[in-house]
Structure 1
Amino acid sequence: MDSYNVLVQNKRRSPVFQTVRSLYQLFEITIMPQITTTQQLRSVKIDFYNYEIYDGQKLIARITYDHKDLTQPWVVEVNNQEVFRRAWWQKSFDDISWYYKKGSLPVQKEDKEQGAGSMGENLSPLRPARLPLLLQQGTR
């Protein structure tokens, strides 16, 4: 048993083992967090033609439908700039996930005017909320 411990200690001191261990630690620090965050991407449907893609509470991109283009109508936008187009919505979402995982998708700026972080909650209602009947008639 004692000779086994000596053998393991000698292997851990070798330069090859040190290199492999440092590469693994680098992988854990840089790559692993990105892998877990891409699994959390979700879409928020604004309406049939507009979607926002989020990683947790962070806005990543928008997918909108362009009625003028029949071949690739789904447009992916980051910071109100077109990044790429796809023929169907799911392909757009998959490519956002792919580029976000690689780190090559442009970073969305936090800007409340664009709706970043609002998850579609700042949309104005189509009709105003109805007041309760007592408030409309006044209190008697």
Structure 2
Amino acid sequence: MTYIAHRQQPANEQTLAQAELQQYINQQAQALAPEEPRVIDISFFDKEYYVGSKLIATVTHDDNDFVTQRWVVMVNGTEVHRAATPMLCHRYICTHHKAGSLPVQEPETPAATTGNEIMVQIANECENLGLELLDDGIYRGDEKLGEAGQTNGNWWFTRTDDATQQRIFCNSASDAVWLVSTDELPECADFLNEYLQYRPLEQMPPVELKHLLDSAELTAA
């Protein structure tokens, strides 16, 4: 009996050790396994796939005529897969994510200035001049004077008394708001030189060029 008990004890220890090892292996495998993508419906046709807080892919719909595989997987704004149903796109994303073969979604570069920051700058300049910034433009009392904004890093303004409503570029938010509110536009030469710093002649459409020249002629007069 003593001999049998002596033989069973190492076997029990070995079984326990194997169980602990298998548990450790399972835990490590679970830790290393890719997390299942989470799907957010943006619209009926558009979906975003996330792992944690990171966007890994999007699915959209191709509305062009004569297209048979209308559902498209996009990564970094580039088509990487096309299928006949959204479920096939879902399967593609999950399979390639698990295999590590899905292209890496690069984080978006944040804009240097957000829309809110732009509006705050314009609102501050309006306050300095005793003006009011509303949803549809800049006002003095009940009179709308025009609008100001920033596009691709360039400040611009439009005036209500300008029939063409073309955007005219300038140096800063303060310049844009002042030019909206003032009754005196810059001298012709200064006005043209400043405008051309932001908008070379060869990049202007004919309508914009005509508007600029007409404005300059009125200023000179």
With normalisation by structure 2, the TM-score equals 0.39
Q: Which structure has more RCO (C-alpha within 8 Å, separation ≥ 6)?
A: 1
% identical aligned pairs: 28
Q: Kindly indicate whether residue 77 of structure 2 is the aligned counterpart of residue 80 of structure 1.
A: yes
Rg larger in structure:
2
* Aligned-pair CA distance for 1:85: 0.6
Taking a change above 3 Å as real, the CA distance of residues 86 and 37 of structure 1, as seen in their structure-2 partners, is: same
Question: CA 1:34/1:75 → structure 2, altered by over 3 Å: closer, same or farther?
Answer: farther
The match for 2:30 among 21, 29, 32 is 32
Q: Aligned residues, how many?
A: 110
- After superposition, the Cα gap between the structure-2 partners of 1:26 and 1:110, relative to the gap in structure 1 and judged at 3 Å, is farther
Q: How does 1:1-140 map to 2 (within 5 A)?
A: 2-3=5-6, 4-9=8-13, 21=21, 25=24, 28-29=27-28, 31-33=29-31, 35=33, 37-38=35-36, 41-45=38-42, 47-68=43-64, 70-112=67-109
Distance 1:103 1:7 in 2: 41
- Displacement, 1:76? 0.4
- Once the two structures are superposed, what CA deviation does each residue of 1:67-122 show, in whole Å capped at 9, x if it has no partner? 22621111101112211111011221122112111221112111146xxxxxxxxx
1:19-38 per-position Cα deviation (integer Å, ceiling 9, x unaligned): xx58x756643x42354611
Name the CA distance, whole Å, in 2 between partners of 1:35 and 1:48.
30
Mark the runs of 5 or more structure 1 residues left unpaired by the alignment. Answer: 114-130, 132-137
CA separation in 2, counterparts of 1:104 and 1:34? 16
* Secondary structure class of the residue paired with 1:5: helix
1:50 touches 1:65 (CA, 8 Å); kept in 2? yes
What is the alpha-carbon distance in structure 2 between the residues aligned to residue 49 and residue 99 of structure 1? 21
Rounded to whole Å, the distance in 1 between the matches of 2:108 and 2:12 is: 55
Give the superposed CA RMSD. 3.6
CA pair 102-28 structure 1, distance change in 2 beyond 3 A: farther
8 Å CA contact 1:42–1:54 kept in 2: the answer is yes
Letter in 1 for 2:30: M
